[in-house]
Amino acid sequence: MAQPFESNSKDLAQRWARWQPGTAGHDTDSRADGPPERRKAGKRRTVSLKDFDPSAKPFSLGDKAQDKAVVESLAMELDELQNLFYADKRHKLLVILQGTDTSGKDGTIRGVFGRMSALGVHTVGWKAPTEAERAHDYLWRIHQQVPAAGEITIFNRSHYEEVLVPVVNGWITPEQHHQRFGHINDFERMLSQTGTTVLKFLLHIGFDEQRQRLQERLDDPTKHWKFAMGDIEARKQWPQYQKAYEQLLAATHTPWAPWTIVPANSKTHRNLMIATVLREVLRNLDLRYPPGDPALAHFTVE
């Protein structure tokens, strides 16, 4: 049986690998928060988002109508797999959707997960921590929301905000920044070792695409509720956020919780790519229905 993040299709495996941070020369066992003298020189992965075209469509069939039809078909298949996943009860799945403002996290949830039964599937939308949450370590509130056996949990934003916003705004030191990478890797390793498959997607859009989407929210009164002036302030920090994303991709792309960078200028392609990868991961889990009660074999309802 394939591992969760592998594919039996050579073509799919190659396309998928192209949209993951490179692994050449990366020491996946090194501690991101370890002292400099214990880190291996030259072993840190580097990632440049400029190498990943947000307008690309690597999973497309070449026709938007065809792509939409495939997304619909995949959504129905994912619903069947989710029902089996819930019945199986041997697995837990955490899907992380991370990205800048307007990158399409809400749209992904509707387009990819919208047909799934509410039974065993739930979404957590992360906002700024409350006063009570700030009184604990920054992963405390995250751990409370990870999936239980048989559940699929979708994070709309995630604990990765803690190595984005505080970094860009200078609220934590470089030492704390690297410590957090170590904390997150250890946290996700623990989840993986205790039965949770951690599937991480970075929704990657371009600077001009974000401008268009923000303007659409302003031009459409029904979308004003989605607009916040804070989005404009964050947009002014675009280069800093891109750098912070590159750093987290380099530091937290691990064998037990790998990243997939999704070119997301096209909403249809975004959904197609995520649904395809999600189906592959679920298929790899060797899901099966639990054995029935032998006493029911000859039972007749009257």
Distance CA 287, CA 81 (A): 8
Which pLDDT value is given to residue 237?
Answer: 97
Largest CA distance in the chain: 75
- CATH tag for 10-16+46-287 (out of 3.30.70.1450, 3.20.20.140, 3.50.50.60, 3.40.50.300): 3.40.50.300
Mean pLDDT of 38-63: 80
Mean pLDDT of 47-74: 96
Mean pLDDT of 17-33: 58
Mean pLDDT of 128-145: 96
Mean pLDDT of 192-197: 96
Which pLDDT value is given to residue 23?
Answer: 47
Secondary structure of the chain in HEC code, one letter for each residue: CCCCCCCCCHHHHHHHHHCCCCCCCCCCCCCCCCCHHHCCCCCCCCCCHHHCCCCCCCCCCCCHHHHHHHHHHHHHHHHHHHHHHHHHCCCEEEEEEEECCCCCHHHHHHHHHCCCCCCCEEEEECCCCCHHHHCCCCCHHHHCCCCCCCCEEEEECCHHHHHCHHHHCCCCCHHHHHHHHHHHHHHHHHHHHCCEEEEEEEEECCHHHHHHHHHHHHHCHHHHHHCCHHHHHHHHCHHHHHHHHHHHHHHHCECCECEEEEECCCHHHHHHHHHHHHHHHHHHCCCCCCCCCHHHCCCCCC
- Per-residue pLDDT of 265-295, as tens digits, reads 999 999 999 999 999 999 999 999 998 888 8
Mean pLDDT of 177-192: 98
Mean pLDDT of 205-215: 96
Token pair belonging to 55: 């307008």
Domain range list for the chain: 10-16+46-287
| Stated pTM of the model | 0.90
> pLDDT band for position 25 (50/70/90)?
very low
